[in-house]
Amino acid sequence: MYKSINLSLFILLLPFLAISQNSNDYNKKIDNLLSQMTIEQKIGQLALRGTSSRVKGGLSEEFKQMIREGEAGAILNVMKAEQMAELQKIALEESEHGIPLIFARDVIHGFKTIFPIPLGLAASWDSSTAYDCARVSSIEASSIGIRWTFAPMLDISRDSRWGRIAESPGEDPLLASVLAKAYIDGFQNEFKDNTSLLACAKHFMGYGAAEGGRDYNTVYMNEALMRNIYLPPFKAAIEAGALTVMSSFNEYNGVPASASTFLLKEVLRDDLAFDGFVVSDWNSLTETIPHGYARDERHAAELAFKAGLDMEMTSRAYENHLKTLLENGTIQMADLDIMVANILRTKLRMGLFDAPIPKDNSATLYYKNAHLEKAKEAAIKSMVLLKNKNDILPLNSSKKIALIGPLADAPHDQLGTWTFDGEKEHTITPAHYFQEKTDQISFAPGLTFSRDRSTHGYADALNKAKASDLIIFIGGEEAILSGEAHSRANIALPGKQEELLKELKSTGKPIVLVIMAGRPISLTNIESYADAILMAWHPGTMGGPALYDVLTGIREPEGRLPVTWPKSAGQSPLYYNQKNTGRPADSTSFVQMYDIPLGAWQSSLGNNSHYLDDGFTPHYPFGYGLNYSSFIYSELDLSTNKISQSDSLVVSIKLTNTGNRQSTDLVQLYIQDVVGSITRPVKELKDFQHIKLDAKTDTEVKFVIYPDQLTFYNNDGEKCLESGMFNIWIGPNSASGLKSSFELFD
């Protein structure tokens, strides 16, 4: 009897015993290496050496010697398997301690098989979609020796002007946290084998709050905003096992993140118990000089080192100055050993010391059908139907279609931003695929690229439109118009797309507007031209087949907006979980600018928070998206209207598919903490479920709410749970739903 209990207990404890044994072994190996390494070799491990997007030509003898001397811990953008193999062989067999290199690349939303941009993946609200993108990316990238990706980007984004919103998980901390875990699981795959990529949670932190949506710009935020909104995805990533974090370019309350002791030690190490290593962004360590925080390169090295920045990407401040700083006592060897240990431990935990020299087995892995199928599925799940007047979609197959627009046949731009290795030759565009699938299509770009301001293509487009029953216009942004350093002050369709749409509207044919872009696009001027509007983001390699299946009804669009869709850039930043203010706007008092009577008295309009022109609501709310069916929410029920801080609350609704086809709705649960010791958002997403229902059927959808979901951080960074009234909504998006309330008591 006792023996069996001991045995079962031992079996239960086995994983934990194994982990602690591993870490003991790792610590012994690390201590042994540290005791033998010279200062130069220790400093070498802190260096991420690389070049911009790709090393061209062969490896120089100087580069190889650098590896032989142990002057690099990781290499960026060396993309040939044979070159990575050669460098790894040198590191393992010719350097004094045989410490392996980590080969890094930005594998953001696919390596060769390109998935939708991350903002599109976020629109799926589906962790398996994010996981699939990460897993397929890892299998393809690791097949030539890449073992570290600078992803996932976890910057909460509330400003559509910001170019990197395209790369973000959207505006909500809960959705971003769910995606963060999925990405880490998909990339790192628990380091089970050599298809695992070391993930990198970036950019730490607050990068998405850059003033004016201008990339790299100033960030001010207090602890409540940081801990309630911007930190949660990083917390989720680290809890999921992320072993690297990248510091961001921006300053955070006056201190560049790459030299911020508060961020890199107090928040990351102390609060989040992160025990991997921190890498700077590209030259962000030496950018503390133009920030006006470091006097010179040596001072920059000192500040970043003391803040706890482990590895320096591409700049050479550590290489140039750490030895001197050690010798003159400005920094301590013990701290250098801690940083080197962070890097060595990570290399041990990802199995790099035992990994074979990489060889190229990509031939059978790139663009595998299984990978392409997952990319197509991701594109379908990311597409958001914003308008569908008179249910013009799905298309009637007998219709003659004029396919028009600068993004209809744009194989490079369809892949979107941060796509270094995907090849446009593999992109299947809508024009290509639709013309393959049906002879009812006539194609005319009308404009040759998104910024095209010529009208040379109008005649052909208009003639084809007049000869058709319906127009599909695929417009949007070229890939270069979003992504890093590509913010826009005006987020309307660029070039003459709006003008061409107006001309097409004059033909009297119904228009289905499909947008391929890296951000929400201002639709105010053109919304009335379109009978249907579908946001396809930049959908990746399989965008054509995915779009065909969605527009023809083989599949329905399942996406929901991961960001609020503003009417214009002037409304940004704009997000659903805003504060109520002392003068919240409402439709009863709002008078649109052109409806204001002449000579109106100064205080005759609603004195509350709105714009005279664009009002106070977005074009489309966070969480919004249409189906090809219709749903009714009814019978909202709470298990109780009073819960103590140790109880839980069961909330349920009845969901009915009133339409004629099977359909999936995203049931969303929001909560408002009505009164707090600091003001609280008007509502916050607390849970969501994808519910698939057959036509004319219904089901009960249940959620359980726990008090911990009602907590928040105050301005002192303290976690609070405060009794009082809470409102609760369950509905299809953040702007509608059934409402009730409950009380939390002590």
d(CA 115, CA 112): 9
Task: Please report how close the Cβ of residue 122 comes to ligand GLC at its closest, in angstroms.
Answer: 17
Tell me whether residue 150 or residue 620 sits nearer to ligand GLC (CB atom): 150
Burial class (CB within 10 angstroms; exposed 0-12, middle 13-18, buried 19+) of 270: exposed
Q: How far is the CB of 46 from ligand GLC (least distance, A)?
A: 17
Q: What is the separation of C-alpha 649 from the centre of its chain, rounded to a whole number of angstroms?
A: 31
DSSP 3-state percent helix, strand, coil across the chain (nearest 5): 35, 20, 45
Query: Least distance to ligand GLC from the beta carbon of 282, Å?
Result: 4
**Residue 150 or 622 with smaller CB distance to ligand GLC:** 150
What does the DSSP 8-state code read for residue 579? Answer: B
Residue number with CB closer to ligand GLC (282 or 353): 282
Site for ligand GLC in 292-321 (CB under 6 A): none
Q: What one-character-per-residue DSSP string does 103-170 give? A: EEE--SSBSSSBPPPHHHHHTTT-HHHHHHHHHHHHHHHHTTT--EE---B------TTSGGGGGS--
Q: How many CA atoms lie within 13 A of 369 on its CB side?
A: 0
Nearer to ligand GLC, 33 or 151 (CB): 151
**b/e map 616-626, b = 16+ CB within 10 Å:** bbbbbbbbbbb
- Give the Cα separation of 29 and 353 in Å (integer): 11
Pairwise CA distance, residues 82 & 103, whole Å: 13
86 scored as a contact of ligand GLC (CB under 6 A): no
Nearer to ligand GLC, 207 or 633 (CB): 207
Instruction: Determine contact, residues 77/106, Cβ cutoff 8 Å.
Output: no
Binding residues for ligand GLC restricted to 387-416, rule: CB under 6 A: none
Is residue 704 a contact partner of residue 692, using CB atoms and an 8 Å limit?
no
Whole-angstrom distance, CA of residue 247 vs CA of residue 285? 9
Which tokens go with 640?
């109780």
Site string for ligand GLC, 446-485 (x = CB under 6 A): --------------------------------------x-
| Binders in 584-613 for ligand GLC, by CB under 6 A | none
Judged by CB under 6 A, the residue of 191, 262, 282, 616 near ligand GLC is 282
Q: Which is nearer to ligand GLC, 239 or 484 (CB)?
A: 484
Quick one: 157 or 442, whose CB is closer to ligand GLC? 157
Shortest reach from residue 47's CB to ligand GLC, in Å: 15
CA distance 147 to 107: 10
Q: How far apart, in Å, are the Cα atoms of 677 and each of 82, 644, 720? A: 60, 19, 9
Instruction: Tell the smallest beta-carbon distance from residue 687 to ligand GLC (Å).
Output: 30
By rule CB under 6 A, what string of x and - marks binding of each residue 511-550 to ligand GLC? ----------------------------------------
- Residue 357, classified by CB atoms within 10 Å of its CB into exposed (0-12), middle (13-18) or buried (19+), is middle
Q: 49, 106, 526, 710: which one contacts ligand GLC (CB under 6 A)?
A: 106
Written as six digits, the tokens of 118 are 């991350």
The least CB distance from residue 70 to ligand GLC, in Å, is 23
The count of chain residues that interact with ligand GLC, using the rule CB under 6 A, is 6
- State the nearest-atom distance from the C-beta of 302 to ligand GLC, in Å: 23
Position of minimal CB gap to ligand GLC: 150
How far is Cα 572 from Cα 215, in angstroms, rounded to an integer? Answer: 14
Residue 665 annotated among the catalytic residues of the structure: no
Omega before residue 358 within 30° of 0, cis: no
In the complex with ligand GLC, the residue whose CB is nearer, 86 or 484, is 484
CA 350, distance to chain mean position in Å, is: 24
Binding flag, residue 281, ligand GLC (CB under 6 A):
yes
User: Which listed residue (281, 310, 413, 531) is catalytic?
Assistant: 281
Q: How far apart are CA 35 and CA 655, in angstroms?
A: 65
Q: Is 457 helix (H, G, I), strand (E, B) or coil?
A: coil
Query: Beta-strand (E) ranges in 274-422?
Result: 277-279, 312-313, 384-388, 401-404
Cα–Cα distance measured from residue 709 to residue 224, given in angstroms and rounded to the nearest whole number: 16
φ, ψ at 465 (rounded to 5°): -65, -45
Residue whose token pair is 């006006």: 292
- The correct pick among 26, 63, 125, 150 for binding ligand GLC (CB under 6 A) is 150
The nearest distance, CB 52 to ligand GLC, in angstroms, is 8
Nearer to ligand GLC, 281 or 478 (CB): 281
Cβ proximity to ligand GLC: between 423 and 484 the closer is 484
CB of 106 to ligand GLC, least distance (A): 5
- Look at phi and psi of residue 241 and say left if phi exceeds 0, alpha if psi is from -120 to 50, else beta: left
Of residues 167-226, which lie at the interface with ligand GLC (CB under 6 A)? Answer: 202
251 vs 281, beta carbon nearer ligand GLC = 281
Distance, C-alpha 206 to centroid of its chain: 14
Alpha-carbon dihedral 178, 184, 189, 194, rounded to 10 degrees: 160
CB of 51 to ligand GLC, least distance (A): 10
Q: How far is the CB of 483 from ligand GLC (least distance, A)?
A: 9
Q: Which two tokens mark 102?
A: 């980590």
The catalytic site residues sit at: 281
Residues that bind ligand GLC (CB under 6 A): 106, 150, 202, 281-282, 484
